[in-house]
Structure formats: structure tokens, C-alpha cells
Structure 1
């Protein structure tokens, strides 16, 4: 009886050990088996794992991770129940941004995520594909983005800021409704990309024919003439300038001439040579002054007789007018010149007032051929012993030569006399 009872206890104890082992094993299985969410390139699945690290979970589910891929929370992180493991693989794309194509890499799963990853704001831009389009398995790996920008267009004298969504200079001109002529050019190639703040200038080019008239200068030949007083000039044969018409091909850019090419020329009026005679005749020497020292001679008495009623004024005016040439060459004032001439009652005074208004350096403005107080011609001045230009001589010297001329030729030398 005792023996049977003891065997029954042993049996119960054995069963208890087996049951305890089964219960303990089940609890361990349940504790080590964890459920996690695994998201690869946007696709999520629930998996159970006994793995302790994220890398083990990825390996056990055949997810190969490259260096460029993005893993969250990290390949070395411990796995916990309910964890969300995210893997975004690196994808190669060809992005054409505002006309410039580059090869880029991104861990984004859509075009919108790729642009955000590359720092491109699609707000207001023109994108060739839908922003939600997926990049998985190489899909939509080529796309273009044209961003909005402000470009200044310079054309036809106007400078206009234009808000455009354009990639190239040609796109800018199209949106600004600017048409180009056959010869027109642009400051930048039409296919060149543009950015915000760019300037696109239209260069209006035109080529036209232009006719111009040029003067053919006459040739002047000088010949010596011994019949003319030395230094005097006389036109023997009148000449004239000729004319020629020249046709040019003129290229302009925005109205400014940049190129000129001669196409033809034609003489429409021949030039005629002019012949000028140059006087070489030496002036006649001045007559020797009369010797008036003989008080008893008849001529001396006649010249010095100022009492004859009919001749006194004439002979007095042709004399020294009360002042002889003392050799003094110091500068003279107008008042001194007037006094030298004998004052308002003297004929010399009237002549000089009319001829030069008492200006010893006067030059006739009509012909530039009469000089000084008495308006000598150069040849006449030389003939009475003067040298150089009469206007450069001292007033006393001019008066001296005038009196010699008056003695030789009379008062008729001056229209004002």
C-alpha cells in the first residue's frame, strides 16, 4: 500500500517536471520572438524575429544594405517589439535643373522626396513628372525642373524685368514675346541656361547701304611774278574743289555703327587746279630827303611859307604836323598818338581816325591786307622803306613812313583824306 502510494507520488512529480518544462519553454519562445515593421523604399511588412540587432533582422529578411543607403534607427540598434525599421536605398537619377543636366544620388522614394533631399524647392516650378511618382526599381529616374525666376530683358531701348518659368534664353524671349530678326543676335546663346537675376539683351543688327559725298581738294600751284610787288599774291587761274560719291555697306547694332565697307565710288565733279602768282618785284628805293638848309632858295621859301592863304593848310598837313620823329620807341597811349598827329584840326588826325580809329595794330578784317594806323598794304609799306608788318612798327615809325608816302603820292593814297 505504501509502496503503491509512493510510486503514485513519483509519477505525479515526474508529470509535474514535464509540465513545468513545457510551460517554461513556451514562455521563453514567446519572450524571444519579436514582431517588427520593416519598411524598404516605402513598402512596409510585419516580420517576426529572434534577432537582437537591426542588421540581423535585415540579413534574415534578405535586405542587402549598401554604404550609401539610409537605415533607421541604425544597423547596430537593438531590436525591440513593435519597432519600425526603415531602409531607403540610394538611387541614381538624371536631374535637368533649369536646363543643366546632372547625375545625382538620393535616398528619396518619390520625386518630391528626391528634390527635398537635393535642396530644390518645387514651389511654382514646372516639373516634368508628378511629384508623387516613385523612384523604386529605376522608375522616373530622368526628370526636369524649371524654377520660377526674374530675368531682365533688354530690347528696342527698353529694360524690362520679366517673371518667367524658363530654362533657357530662348524660353525667356518666347515668354516675353520678343521676336528676333534674321541678323539679330542675343548677348547669351539662345540655348544657354538662365538663372534668377540674369540679363538677356537683344542686339538688333542691320546692314544698309549709305552714300556719302566727299570733297576732292583742289591743287594750288604758286608761280613767281616779277611784275608784282614782292610778297603780293594774285590768282591767275581760279580753281575749285571736286566731289566724289562713295557707297558704303554699313552694319549697325542697336543703331550704333560697328562696321563699314566701301562698295563703290564715283567722281561727280572734277577738281580744277588753281594758279597763284607771287610777286618778286623789289620795291623802289625811297627818295632822298630834300636839303632845306638853304634859307635863300625858292623851294625852301615856298615849303616853309605858311602865310600863303591858298597853300598854307595843304602844306602844313603834309609836313610833320608839329612833331618830328625823335627816335623814341617807348609805348604810346591813344592820347599821345592823337597829339603826335596834330590833334583834331590836323588832316593826319582825320585820316587815322577814319582808317584805324587810332589803333596802331589794326588789321583790315575784310581782306587782311591793310595794316596799322594808316592801313598800309605790305608792298606799299616796303616801298617807303618799311620792314616787317606795318602793324608791328612803332606809331612814330608808321607816321614817318606815311609822311614819305604822302610826299611821293599825295593824299589820294587814303580814301579818308
Structure 2
């Protein structure tokens, strides 16, 4: 009886052990899961007892930096055959169009990194292949992007579309040579940007000899052999010439600096000589036929004659007794200045009145105030031609020929 009981106990114990073993195997199988792990593009299948993505990564000895990209998140619960992707952060020593840039990326290739950074790789020059794999140690590479740059030089515009880095490279691509004095709108070593305009100004320095005129001088001599108011050119004179040497600096053809270096006289100027008459003119026949002299012919008019028709030399009507030819002769005949003035001002009419303003009178078109300033009385049209001529000569001596536009 005791032996049977012990046997049953033994069998029961064995059953417990077997049941325990069977139950443990089920638990082992239930807790050990297979997952697909991809790290920086490299995939493998791993088995884990962990309950979260973070447990799986830790079990593989992977320390996750805050910049790393983990999908799904580290706290995500593990499921059988799930995909876990870890892209680690990689530091980049990058130079874009000659400008150093420190960046980082979780991309796995050079091409992906450029796309991640927003750099257009198409048409660009990249120092590493776009499919080059990036490691956790990062990478150093250069990128030169295509740019359209306008070069303005020598009156022309050239658009350069190329993967050039500096101003000097763009100019070389455009076939524009720059000398030591030329001015470029940006330093030759500076980087260029898309859409930039480069101006090239041509600077030229030269020494130039030019001939310049030396103005002649005019000497005026007085002569009693000519009547007052008459002049004669005794010597025409001649301008001189000097040669002047200049240092000239131009920018795009425009002169910006001019310095005199030397000068010498090639031909001396010759002064002009003008003879001015001082002789009082002799009385004309018309004046002789009057009261006895040119200087007295206006005395009656100066005394206030109204020109009523009396035969005195001061009478206004007495002027009418002179014919046009007599007036011309009184003025010295054609070719004299007085002839030219009277022909222009009044057409030899001693009673002419300006019909536009009715403010200018007689042979010489006096204003009343001017007439009175030279001793005239009343209105010039009431004075004889001789008297008008006398007052005109007084005015010319006081104020010059500029009193008449026709002179």
C-alpha cells in the first residue's frame, strides 16, 4: 500500500515537472520575438525578449542620440516581425559654392543628405558620388551649384550659366580679361550667386599732347584822322598756339582725371590793333544852309520849338526839307555804322514812330527819357535830322554802340 502510494507520488511529481517544462517552453516562445532592424540602411533580423523598441536597440548595444531618427519611437511596444529603423545623426563638413557650412543629417547617402538640406544636386558638381554611403563619422565634401551670372563689359552683356565658384572663374568662362587697373564690381576671389550682375569698368591711363589756342589781345589806338564814332582795323592779329601735355585717366571712355604735365608755346599770338576816331565831324551841306553851324542847329529846338513849320534849323518841319539822300550823306553814306543804324531803326524817316509801343521816335528811335538825357527837348520827331544825329552821337560817346541793336 505504501509502495503504491509512493509510486503514485513519483508519477505525480514527474507529471508536475513535465508540465512545468512544457509550460516554460511556451513562455519562452511567447517572449522571444523576431524583428527586422535597419541601422543606417543596413538590415538584419534579430530576436529579442524586450518589450519596447528601446529595449531592442539597447540589447544590440546601440546608444540613441537625441538627434538620431528612430521609427517607430523608442517607447513603442514590440510586435513580432515589426520593422525598426534607426538612422544615426552624421556631422557634415560641407562647402557650398566656396562657403564652408557645418551641418548634420540622418540621411545615409550624399545625395540624400543634399536633398535633406535643400541643396539641388541636379547639374551641380559634387566632390563625392551621390550614392556614397555616409557613416557615423560623417563626411567632408564640396558642392558647386549651377548659377546664371550676367557679365557687363565693353558695352556688351554676357550671361554665364556654369558651376563656377568665384568671380574670376565667371569672368574666365565669359572670356572677359581684366587688367591690373580695371575695376570689377566684386572682388575676384569672392563667391558668386545665382542672378548676380558683374560690372567690369575699363580703366585707361595715357599721356596725351594737345594743341590749345592762345587768345590774341586787342589794342585800341585813338586817331584824329578819323571822325568820332568811326573805327578802323589796322592789324587783324592772330591767335597763338601752345602744346600742352596731359596725363589723362578714363573709365569706360569717360575722363575722370586730367593733370597738366608740361606746356610750350608753338606760335606766339599777334595782337590786333583797332584805331578809334577822335575828330569832330565837319558840318554837312544841309547844316551849312541852315542858321550857320551843326552845333547850333539844334539851339532853337532846345529852346522849346514846337515844330510848327518855321524855317529855323531847330524846327521839326525843317527836317522834312532834307531828302533821304541828304540824310544818307549826312550819316556818311552806305557802309558806315550810322547808315546801318538809321536804315534798320527808321528807314531814314526823321518822323518815324514805333507802331508797336509808340515809345521810340525819330531817325534813331530815341525813348523820350534817353533823348532828354542827352540834351534833347520835346519829342525827337519834332527835331531836325541834324539835331537828331547830334544827340545820337552824344549818346554813343556816353554809352557806346550797344544802345542800338542794329549797330
Whether the TM-score (by the shorter chain) exceeds 0.5 is yes
Structure 2: gaps spanning 5 or more residues: 293-309, 346-361, 372-379, 391-407
Q: Which of 311, 319, 325 is the aligned partner of 2:316?
A: 325
2:90 is aligned to: 91
Once the 2 structures are TM-superposed, how far is the Cα of residue 368 of structure 1 from its aligned partner?
Answer: 5.1
Partner in structure 1 of residue 155 of structure 2: 157
What is the deviation of 1:22?
Answer: 0.8
Stretches of structure 1 lacking an aligned partner (at least 5 in a row): 292-318, 328-339, 357-363, 377-387, 405-417
Change (3 A) 1:355 1:155: farther
For residue 323 of structure 2, the aligned residue among 331, 348, 357 is 348
Greater CA deviation, 39-48 or 125-134? 39-48
**Correspondence for 1:390:** 364
CA spacing shift, 1:69–1:352, aligned 2, 3 Å: farther
CA-to-partner distance for each residue in 1:32-75, whole Å, 9 max, x for gaps? 12222333323333332222222222223222222222222122
Q: CA RMSD in A?
A: 3.9
Q: Is the 8 A contact 1:41 1:88 kept in 2?
A: yes
Q: How far is the alpha carbon of 1:341 from its aligned partner?
A: 5.9
Using the alignment, how far apart are the partners of 2:86 and 2:344 within structure 1? 115
CA contact (8 A) 1:390 1:398 kept: no
Match in the other structure for 2:187: 189
Aligned to 2:354: none
TM-score, with length taken from structure 1: 0.68
- C-alpha distance after superposition, 1:172-202 (max 9, x if no partner): 2222233334433322222222222122233
Q: Are the counterparts in 2 of residues 371 and 391 from structure 1 also a CA contact under 8 Å? A: no
Number of the residue aligned with 1:130: 129
The answer for the alignment partner of 1:10 in structure 2 is 9
1:399 matches 2:385: yes
Provide the residue aligned with 2:55 in structure 1.
56
CA, structure 1 residues 399+38, in 2 after alignment: closer, same or farther (shift >3 Å)?
A: same
State how far apart, in whole Å, the 2-side matches of 1:280 and 1:375 are: 25
Contact conserved, 1:212 with 1:245, CA < 8 A, in 2? yes
Post-superposition offset of 1:5:
3.9
Q: Mean alpha-carbon deviation: is it higher for 276-285 or for 65-74?
A: 276-285
Q: 1:374 Cα deviation (Å)?
A: 5.9
Structure-1 separation of matches of 2:166 and 2:265:
52
TM-score of the two chains, using structure 2 as the length reference: 0.70
Q: 1:263: how far off? A: 2.4
Residue 402 of structure 1: how far off its partner (Å): 7.8
Q: Are the aligned partners of 2:364 and 2:388 in contact in 1 as well (CA < 8 Å)? A: no
- Matches of 2:336 and 2:75 in 1, distance apart? 113
Q: Deviations over 1:218-253 (max 9, x none)?
A: 334446666655454455665432221112222223
Q: Which residue of 2 aligns with 1:169?
A: 167
1:32 and 2:23 correspond: no
Tell me the distance in 2 between the aligned counterparts of 1:32 and 1:355. Answer: 145
